[in-house]
Structure formats: structure tokens, C-alpha cells
Amino acid sequence: MNWKLIFVVSLLGVLIGLVSLFGLVDLNQWFIAIMWWLIAALILGRFAHKKYFGHGLWTGVIESLVSSTLIYLFFDTYVANNPKVAEQLAQLPPGVDARSMMLINMLVGVIIGGVVLGLLTLLSGKVFGEPEPQPTVELPMESPPPTEDKPDQTGHGR
């Protein structure tokens, strides 16, 4: 596994987390996630060279964890900047902690993000990755054609 590639592509999680944290997507987070999955899958599929699903899975998990951790740590800022999320959280039954509910949703998102990116990377790797070397078949050398029984240098036949 190319962990350097995984961590570099996962850094987009910081950007996605900040965009979500400051309410710049206004519940269009699925659109952002799909676009990120496609871009990341193309990058990973081209440069991973092997173990495409594993590269995608780990990148998706790490990215989702980073993004979710930012939102969880700055939960009040997230709710203040996302009024539609605040409305949805206000509809929770009494006694249900909104932060805990978000944590459960985020964990599910981490799993989904990893699996989806893994599958997309697998597909991308098969389409855009470097082609696997084709096995070569070595044919046995043909034996030289039979020669007539000619005398050797000593004058005798073989």
C-alpha cells in the first residue's frame, strides 16, 4: 500500500471538513462527497498500481474521520453555520443528545465513505490504471535441421 498517496489524498478531508463546518455547502454535502469520491478514485486508480480497493477504502476512512472529527470538535460552530442542520437536530426526541446522534451518523458515514471510495477506486484502477504486464510465452527453440552425414575434419563421418 502506498501510504503517502493515501494520506495526501486524504488531506482533502480537512478542506471538506472546513467547508462543512462553516456552512458553505448548505446541506449539499452529498454532492461534495460524490465529487470528492470521483476525484479521489481517479487519482488513486491512476497512481496506486495495485490493491486499488484497499487504497480507496483507507483513503475514504481517513478522509471521513478527519472531516467528521473537525465537525464533532467544533459542533457548536457547525450547528450555528448550518441552520438546516440545526432545524433537523431540533426535531430529535427529548433526551437524545444531538452531538451523540451526529457522532453515530458520522461513524456510519466513515464506513460508507470508505467502501464507496474503495469500489470507485477499484473501477478506476481497472479503467485508468497502468496495464498489467502480459505474460510472455517462450517457445522452445527449434532444433537445427538434420544435416547429412558429412565427414568431419579428420575425414571420418560422425
Q: What is the pLDDT of residues 84-118, one digit of tens each?
A: 888 888 888 888 888 888 888 888 988 988 999 99
Convert the pLDDT of each residue in 126-155 to its tens digit: 888 776 666 777 777 777 666 666 666 665
Does pTM top 0.85 for this prediction? no
**What local confidence, expressed as pLDDT, does residue 53 receive?**
94
* DSSP string across 83-146: HHHHHHHHTSPTT--HHHHHHHHHHHHHHHHHHHHHHHHHHHHHHHSPPPPPPP-PPPPPPPPP
User: Residue 108 is placed in which grid cell?
Assistant: 456510519
pLDDT, greater one: 44 or 145: 44
147: in domain: no
The count of domains in the chain is 1
157: in domain: no
Angle (nearest 5°) at CA 61 between 23 and 21: 10
With 0-12 CB in 10 A as exposed, 13-18 as middle and 19+ as buried, what is 14?
A: middle
30: in domain: yes
pLDDT, greater one: 152 or 54: 54
Q: Mean of the pLDDT values across residues 25-44? A: 82
Range of the domain at 54: 3-128
52: in domain: yes
The mean pLDDT of the chain is 83
158: in domain: no
Report d(CA 35, CA 17) in Å as an integer. 14
Q: Which amino acid is at 131?
A: P
